[in-house]
Structure 1
Amino acid sequence: MALLPPDPVYTIRNVDNTPVYSLAFSFLPGGLERLLAGSKNGYVYAFNLQTNRVQQKIQVGQAPILHLMHTNSQLITQEKGGKYKVFNLTNTGYKEDAIINIDYPGFCRFDANTKLETLYVPDKDSKISIYSFSGDKIGCLEPDSSPKLGDPMCLKYIELSSDKHCLLAGYEAGWLLLWDLNTSQCISKLQTKECPMSVDFHVEQQRGIIGNASDVIQIFSIGRKDSCLAHKTDITIKNAGVNKVQSRMDGKVFVSGGWDGHIRIFSWFSLRPLVVLTEHRQAIQDVCYSSQKVSFWNANIMAAGGLDGAITLWDLYNNKH
């Protein structure tokens, strides 16, 4: 039986209730803990997690910020329409260092290998372009002509082992491909239920999740020896449409953010829903987990944001270990 839903530990109202498209936690030297919200109006708002108030406003452009990522020293943003910016963190704020322009109209989010400072970005004609953080193009993943894939819809960088760096890519025509980044070759293909909107994979679990426009979340695996993609099972949800799936780092739970505004938490062990969080009034656009404890709550925090302009912060199941 599903648990009674907990309350969020805090609800942040985004500036002017602007819809939130993307979220990222940032833990900087000196104890500065922030949550960055990429917004519909082209701004990134940095909320201080001690006060939960806006500490900094970064105007990136005019278009919605579909995705953002924060490393130890950089902020990377993706605007709708295909413009990517890399900002270096300085003593006074963020300084724009590189711009990548790709004429790509879709909603597919980039992913990155932060150690190698490499970006994987969706491109037209089923391609995925590879750039360095300094903005130089260094490669391209280009599928063969069969089957017709359509545009990339979701990407996930994974390290299957210390020397096996791969990229999962979901495409418009309903295919999931596993790319070997060492050779730029596709090593496995899986036909999914329909156009995948979001994909995540947990290496220790050896299982992944696909969210799409239907009422089914798909679970798949990657073979340890042959690296083959395989469909495992389907999970049916009450209302169709998932914008984001995300596994927690510990591999105990994963989450889906729905068009109905509901955040569903599932057990990786049983694949059953543990709880449904119904705090949001419009579609969830992004969900992320903090990589370390947020000191104010002494807990790892999950953040969710959506079209209602709210950002909810959750301390789920009170794991204080």
Structure 2
Amino acid sequence: MSRPAPSPIYTLRGAGGPLNTLHFSCCGGDNPLLFSGSGKGAIHIWNLNTRRAEKVLEGHSGNSVIWVSTLPSTRALISQGRDMQVCLWDLCEGRGEVTDSVWGGSVGFCQCSLLETSPGTWLLAHPGQQTEEIKIIELPSKAPVCTLIPDAKLGMVMCIKLWQTDSGLGPLLLAGYEDGSLLLWDVSHRSVLSQATAHLEPVMCLTFDPKHLRGISGSSEKNLSPWMLDEQNNLQLRDPVALVNPGVSQLCIRGDRKLLASAGWDHRVRVFGWKKLRPLAVLQHHSDMVLSVAFSDHQDPRHTLLAAGSKDQRISLWSIYNEGADTS
């Protein structure tokens, strides 16, 4: 008999708007943090020890914040808003100031993607002004690297993921489009390596496991679409994973590559074993659609948390499958 689904260990309130994006920073010292971006333009920095917001940043003129991340090995925060700006923040010594910004040109909901290519240097991919355009720049110089536009008309770019291969090939980028297509781009050569139709509806979200060359994407449909890359970098679709209710906002793989979490339009978070995509748990807490999910980056895996942000303006924190349970 399966165990009943757990309750959240605690809930964070006071974001003041729908929670579009979440990002943990728990590796540096004794002060684990969770960053959230809201539909009202605020970025909250939550102290997970006190379970309170230790700072609230306002940098996108009240426009919805759709993505936040941190630059590894620095005290810098990066955020993307629907004011078409990507902002860099200095958080050193309690500061919370915008030190630089990049004009993205997109009014859509496609989140940026960040990849560290060498110590102190990152690639930032962001949607461009044209519907299908993806721009890649280098940080902190902001030097343009390339612009990726497909030859065919695929509609708006919906989600992107930069990653680095172990084979010596340059950075690659996975992109999901409005017509349901997935494209794998070779950033160095500005060329498409492979393409697949993963959904009949727009690709709302995707995530990818570079170690095992496996990914999964979601849409407004009643299933998830798993896929993998073969040795020639061809996208190979796998059997879809059926959902009880349609609509997925975001997908996230835990750092140990054992769990996959999905943020559902049906107000639920679903947890799957990543290896076989076996359903493990349905987490019910929120009163409106779940918009974001994120696993923490605690150095001790026993302390790993799952956070879920909802349109109901609350963040739920969960501790699940942290003691070596069978999650295949």
Same-fold status (TM-score > 0.5): yes
CA distance in 2, matches of 1:290, 1:320: 17
Aligned to 2:99, the other structure's residue is in SS state strand
Cross-structure match for 1:214: 221
Cross-structure match for 2:12: 12
- 8 Å Cα contact 2:112/2:124 also seen in 1: yes
Aligned to 2:110, the other structure's residue is in SS state coil
Do the aligned partners of residues 39 and 294 (structure 1) sit closer, same or farther apart at CA in structure 2, a change above 3 Å counting?
farther
- 2:186 matches 1:180: yes
- 8 Å Cα contact 2:225/2:239 also seen in 1: yes
Q: TM-score, normalised by structure 1?
A: 0.92
Give the counterpart of 1:284 among 264, 286, 290.
290
- 2:320 matches 1:316: yes
Letter paired with 1:203: P
CA distance in 2, matches of 1:30, 1:249: 19
Cross-structure match for 1:89: 91
Cross-structure match for 1:159: 164
Q: TM-score, normalised by structure 2?
A: 0.90
Aligned to 1:91, the other structure's residue is in SS state helix
CA distance in 1, matches of 2:35, 2:54: 10
- 8 Å Cα contact 2:288/2:310 also seen in 1: yes
CA distance in 2, matches of 1:182, 1:208: 22
Do the aligned partners of residues 233 and 260 (structure 1) sit closer, same or farther apart at CA in structure 2, a change above 3 Å counting?
same
Cross-structure match for 1:35: 34
Letter paired with 1:121: H
Q: Deviations over 1:262-298 (max 9, x none)?
A: 1000112332211100111111111111112479xx6
Letter paired with 2:109: F
Equivalence map 1:1-321=2 (5 Å): 3-16=3-16, 18-27=17-26, 29-61=28-60, 62-71=62-71, 72-73=73-74, 74-115=76-117, 116-123=121-128, 124-134=130-140, 136-146=142-152, 148-161=153-166, 163-164=168-169, 165-193=171-199, 194-223=201-230, 225-293=231-299, 299-319=303-323
- 8 Å Cα contact 1:98/1:134 also seen in 2: no
Aligned to 2:321, the other structure's residue is in SS state helix
Query: How many residues are matched?
Result: 316
**Mean Cα deviation higher: 62-71 or 112-121:** 112-121
CA distance in 2, matches of 1:291, 1:105: 30
Higher strand share: 1
CA distance in 1, matches of 2:47, 2:300: 11
- 8 Å Cα contact 1:86/1:133 also seen in 2: no
**Mean Cα deviation higher: 150-159 or 124-133:** 124-133
Q: How big is the shift at 1:320?
A: 7.1
Q: Deviations over 1:159-217 (max 9, x none)?
A: 23152321100011111001112222111111121211101111233211101011110
Q: How big is the shift at 1:134?
A: 3.3
Do the aligned partners of residues 144 and 309 (structure 1) sit closer, same or farther apart at CA in structure 2, a change above 3 Å counting?
closer
Do the aligned partners of residues 12 and 86 (structure 1) sit closer, same or farther apart at CA in structure 2, a change above 3 Å counting?
same
Q: Deviations over 1:229-279 (max 9, x none)?
A: 010110111111000011112121211101111100011233221110011
- 8 Å Cα contact 2:304/2:322 also seen in 1: no
- 8 Å Cα contact 1:98/1:135 also seen in 2: no
- Give identity over the alignment, percent: 28
CA distance in 2, matches of 1:14, 1:320: 34
CA distance in 2, matches of 1:245, 1:2: 24
Q: How big is the shift at 1:49?
A: 0.8
Do the aligned partners of residues 195 and 278 (structure 1) sit closer, same or farther apart at CA in structure 2, a change above 3 Å counting?
same
CA distance in 2, matches of 1:30, 1:252: 25
Aligned to 1:308, the other structure's residue is in SS state coil
Q: How big is the shift at 1:28?
A: 6.4
Do the aligned partners of residues 22 and 81 (structure 1) sit closer, same or farther apart at CA in structure 2, a change above 3 Å counting?
same
Aligned to 2:8, the other structure's residue is in SS state coil
CA distance in 2, matches of 1:228, 1:137: 30
Cα RMSD, aligned residues only = 2.0
Letter paired with 1:311: I
